[in-house]
Amino acid sequence: MAICCKIKYTLNKSSDFIVNNNEGSCVEEPDDVLVLRSKNGAKEAFDILVQRYRDSLFRFVYHNLRQKEDAEDITQESFVRAYLSLYQLKDNRLFKSWLFKIALNLIRDNERLAKRKHTISLDSLEGDREFFADAGDAEVEGNLEREELRKRLEKEITSLPIELREAITLRDLQGFSYEEIARLLRCSLGTVKSRLFNARKMLREKLRDILEDEKDEL
């Protein structure tokens, strides 16, 4: 996979955009305003978009690949491609889902080329996301128990069929709406709901022993 630049959010010859590595509060302008400014040549507007979404996009890619270097490259490549083809975005309000679609396509390309199985870290799923709500909001106490759950989750999410893994990471990890996921995955709303239902059902079944142990301790 050709990568335009390493992920440091520095000057790139192809895209010519610069983003400071230091985390900071972004100007609270809506995406559509920033996209419009970017289309009109305001590179600092695109810098803000990168700062706004770089962390969540990286987590999404990393949770699907479980390879840090590949995730960094694909994250940066996604921003580069978005910058270079920004004029193709018809509805500026849809920048986030459009950006994640670019990343999703790159992930799939990477999977086809590498033909490797993925693992996934679900740190972001240990809060109030839907799977854990559906699973009974079981709270794991103690570092050993948390680590055990984390490892099991990594293993079981990895074993999900790719279409189920994509759906559950987009919904429960990134918080996309059902409608946005349907657009990203190019499937019907019913298919999205079906995939999420099946993914959560499979995970609950695979994690039954842990979940039942937690309920017994309550």
Task: Calculate what percentage of the chain has a pLDDT beyond 70.
Answer: 67
Q: Count CA atoms within 13 Å of residue 180 on its CB side.
A: 19
> Rg of the chain over CA atoms, in angstroms?
19
Tell me: pLDDT of 24 over 60.
Answer: no
Q: What are the structural domains, with CATH classification, of the chain?
A: 31-114 (1.10.1740.10), 123-217 (1.10.10.10)
- The pLDDT assigned to 145 comes to 66
Q: In the predicted model, what is the mean pLDDT of residues 34-60?
A: 94
- Rounded average pLDDT over 162-176: 87
Identify the residue with better confidence: 103 or 149.
103
CA angle 174, 177, 179 (to 5 degrees): 135
Average pLDDT over every residue of 65-78: 90
What integer best gives the mean pLDDT of the chain? 75
